[in-house]
Structure 1
Amino acid sequence: MIAGGTDLLGELKEYIETPKKVVNLKSIPGLDEIKADSSGLTIGALVTLTDIAAHTTIQHHYTVLAEAAASVASPQIRNVGTLGGNLCQRPRCWYYRNPDIICLKKGGDTCYAIEGLNKYHAIFGGGPVYIVHPSDTAPALIALGATVKIVGPNGDRTMPLEDFFVLPDVNPQRENVLEPNEVLTEVHVPQPKAHTKSTYVKIRERGSFDFALVSVAANFEMNGGNLQQGKRRPRWGRSYPLAFQGS
């Protein structure tokens, strides 16, 4: 399945993925909309990262998500890259991305990052493969308590975004729970509580157009100028196979 194609086209060109057919999701109506109501925001999987970053409601009330979307790659990529694609993209591990290497992630027997070049691999929670998830929007959405809707031939299901991702020790070949013929269709972000503040911080080697070395998405409930005890949801990214809770 393809939407913006910013990840899949690279895999097709390098023969990492060799599907017989590719289904274009961009023609499905209704998946490119952002809807706000009293329960929060519903963001279609085909909404571009540019539209998320520029959306006034998201900027004002879901700041961490607007900042995360704005930090992705370059303006050209954000113009075509979608929220669904950013959440479902495959790892950037150079062993996985090399068409001549059959690593554990691609069904082989060895994760070459263990003894090889692993500068950008997992510090925490790795094994048996040591990938890190490249998504910028995932830590932000998890910090906001988002849920996702998945649709397939057996119906639809909804789950916390945090449960959408799969650790390598559960399935080293996959990063999420999507079954064959299933597709992520929308993300729901609950209405933030009053006096909530959030932000996204991304550390990278280049000033722009780069994946994070480490990132932090933080969502805090404030009481006056003070942080309410127990009301914080920081999530780390790019040091772990998933976005995980900080302290």
Structure 2
Amino acid sequence: MNRFEVITPADLASASQLLAQDGHVAFAGGVDVVDLSKQGIASPTALVNLKGLKELGGIEVRPSGELRLGATAKLSEVAEHPAIRARFTAIAEAAGETATAQIRNLGTVGGNLLQRPRCWYFRNPDVNCLKKGGDTCYAISGLNRYHAILGGGPAFIVHPSNLAPALIAMRASATIVGPGGERTVELEKFFTLPAVDPKRENSLKSGEIITEVIVPASPSSVRSHYLEAREKQSFDWPLVSVAIAIDRAPGAKTVRDARVVMG
């Protein structure tokens, strides 16, 4: 790992200005940033500490029924929140399946969505794969047990986020603040496929920060669930996951709306 400094900005505008500088990387829980630095994939000159910014924290179920998840809200808080468990069940289940209890107490909503792929070729500092600017996705002819089976290519990575499928199934949007102001993007449009740009996984621009994730209110007739399959029951990333949200007419077998999102 290279030497770096840690900078704690006074406010969101300062954080955005810092993150627009080359070599400056955001961190809150710091789980993936540390991994990427140890593996030689990231070489930050400065870590911008977002943990103290009040605008990014907290969980709120508003009177309208809308759910707000601050970007630095802990995954353990999401998993254990009574209102989320009752009314946005898939989201609580997805957060609760993430990693281990210790990491859920560190990891944040924003960090979970912004993880980089766990592909072993990408994570190997000695392999210059397509995702790192090379010209070959080695998973195609190499070890690809954990890679994309649907809609992949030209890089066949998969996104490791547990939360993303559940949030997309519940029609969530992300609020993003940066040098160009504030914008809102539907979470299913936030992620960037390798066919668009193999070097990145999302649509964040330089200096931009996810401040919150907003999940719209759902009718009481909506039920949701998240399931994943993994090799180990302990700390492991899912081989496959699925989130589903179904709106069924009360007292009837008719499904009025259904969203199924695979991870």
Q: Shorter-normalised TM-score: what interval?
A: over 0.9
Distance change >3 Å, CA 207–CA 153, structure 1 → 2: same
Instruction: Give the drift of 1:112.
Output: 0.5
Counterpart for residue 10 of structure 1: 35
2: CA distance, partners of 1:105 / 1:8: 17
| Partner AA of 1:162 in structure 2 | E
Q: Secondary structure at the match of 1:43?
A: strand
2:151 to 108, 121, 125: 125
Separation (CA, whole Å) in 1 of partners of 2:257 and 2:218: 12
Provide closer, same or farther for how the CA distance between residues 56 and 39 of structure 1 changes in structure 2, counting only shifts above 3 A.
closer
Report the residue type matching 2:238 in the other structure: A
Question: Is 6-15 or 61-70 further displaced after alignment?
Answer: 6-15
Partner of 2:254: 228
Quickly say closer, same or farther: Cα 1:74–1:224, change in 2 above 3 A: same
For the pair shown, the structure with the greater C-alpha radius of gyration is: 2
Task: Kindly provide the CA deviation profile for residues 59-115 of structure 1, in whole angstroms up to 9, marking residues without a partner as x.
Answer: 000000000000001000000000000001000000000011111101111111111
SS of 2:189's partner is helix
CA deviation after TM superposition for structure 1 residue 226, in Å: 4.6
SS at match of 2:51: helix
After the TM superposition, which residues 156-175 of structure 1 pair with which residues of structure 2 at under 5 Å, given as runs? 156-175=182-201
Q: Does 1:216 align with 2:247?
A: no
| TM-score normalised by length of structure 2 | 0.88
Quote how far apart the aligned CAs of 1:217 are: 0.3
Residue 35 (structure 1) aligned with residue 60 (structure 2): yes
- Provide, for residues 223-245 of structure 1, a one-character-per-residue CA deviation record: whole Å limited to 9, x for no partner: 235553351111101xxxxxxxx
| Segment drifting more, 228-237 vs 60-69 | 228-237
CA contact (8 A) 1:147 1:188 kept: yes
The answer on 1:180 being equivalent to 2:206 is yes
Residue 188 of structure 1 and its aligned partner are, at CA, apart by: 0.2
Aligned pair 1:78/2:104, yes or no? yes
Residue 22 of structure 1 is matched in structure 2 by 47
- Structure 2 vs 1, CA of residues 199 and 23 (structure 1 numbering), >3 Å: closer, same or farther? same
Choose which of 160, 163, 188 in structure 2 pairs with 1:137. 163
1:62 aligned to 2:88? yes
Alpha-carbon distance, 1:30 to partner = 2.9
Q: Distance in 1 between matches of 2:131 and 2:254?
A: 42
Asked whether the equivalents of residues 220 and 227 of structure 1 are also in contact (C-alpha less than 8 Å), the reply is no
Q: 2:121 aligns with which of 95, 98, 102?
A: 95
Distance in 1, matches of 2:44 and 2:253, equals 50
Q: Alpha-carbon deviations, 1:139-164, whole Å to 9, x = none?
A: 00000000101110110100110010
Q: Percent identity?
A: 52
Runs of 4+ in 1 over 6 A off after TM superposition: none
State how far apart, in whole Å, the 2-side matches of 1:111 and 1:145 are: 32
Q: Does 1:148 align with 2:181?
A: no
Number of residue equivalences? 237
